[in-house]
A = this chain, B = another copy of it.
């Protein structure tokens, strides 16, 4: 057993090949400017030693890495699909590459990953961060940051109009004759969750509905199923879930329990993910302009990166709309 041997440097190769380090460097970077024979000797020596260009040195003085990081709370969540695409589109437009970082729903992991990534990127988009405000500000001190789905004063943010979307959803439910709504809450650390519940209460109050809240639950199908269990206690005719994944969970669990959707109870989701129209019944949901959000985020970020002494940092608020499908129907009153 030897333990990890120190990786060979360019100097080791130089020595082995009997040339100067600078020549080795050239041999790799500008093969044309070096004697074919010498180049060959160098290549051979390099291969022999298993030489690899050091992790961070090469670009050391280039200064620009042309990369930005997009940090997601959970890559696995289809919610991010379009956001990612939007971000990539904006990045490509400017010749940048997007590095994806997964926080695995943990503020801790997010911090750690960020710490490692930070130094290699020119800017960072925090999508639905699970970190606390101060941690985010700390990051922002190191690199230009733009926050998605959350508002922090003095930091550039891009959010959807949760309030308007929720309003539309509740109106829809009211029009169908429902007299009370239950909100199945998502993660506590989620800024959006707080906004949605708040918005639902407001809308319900104004429209004369009764509002109730259960949760929090994990923002995944299983979480929705758990919500459904709690739901059954008490007369529920309409539920709005934190997101589509949960809504799907609710529908499935409800159906399994013999409750018909939408005849017995209506279900509304949030986000309009791809699977929303795949399930049966197809999900009525509040659609966020996902692609546009990703795009706007990176656009803004790049502007800041280019040194734009940040002007006003009013959060960019993108509109959302209600997509009515089959999971909502007449309420019994």
- Compute how far the CA of A306 lies from the CA of B2 in the bound complex, rounded to whole angstroms: 10
**Residue A171 interfacial (CB < 8 Å):** no
Interface size on A, residues (CB 8 A): 55
Cβ contact within 8 Å between A309 and B50: yes
Number of identical protomers: 2
Give the contacting residue for A100; candidates B7, B88, B101, B275; CB below 8 A: B101
Cβ contact within 8 Å between A59 and B55: yes
Which residues of B lie under 8 Å from residue A181 when comparing CB positions? Answer: none
Cβ contact within 8 Å between B63 and A54: yes
Chain B residue with the shortest CB-CB distance to A144: B52
- Compute how far the CA of A141 lies from the CA of B27 in the bound complex, rounded to whole angstroms: 13
- Compute how far the CA of A275 lies from the CA of B221 in the bound complex, rounded to whole angstroms: 11
- Tell me if A's interface is mostly helix, strand, loop or mixed: loop
Interface-lining segment among A112-120, A154-162, A192-200, A205-213:
A112-120
Given contacts A53-B119, A121-B55, contact A4 B306 (CB under 8 A): yes
Docked complex: A36-56 residues within 8 A CB-CB of B? 47, 50, 52-56
Given contacts A63-B54, A278-B248, A279-B278, contact A4 B117 (CB under 8 A): no
Question: Which residues of A are in contact with B by a Cβ distance under 8 Å?
Answer: 4-7, 47, 50, 52-60, 63-67, 75-76, 78, 81, 84-85, 88, 97-102, 104, 112-113, 116-117, 119-122, 141-143, 221, 248, 252, 275, 278-280, 306-307, 309
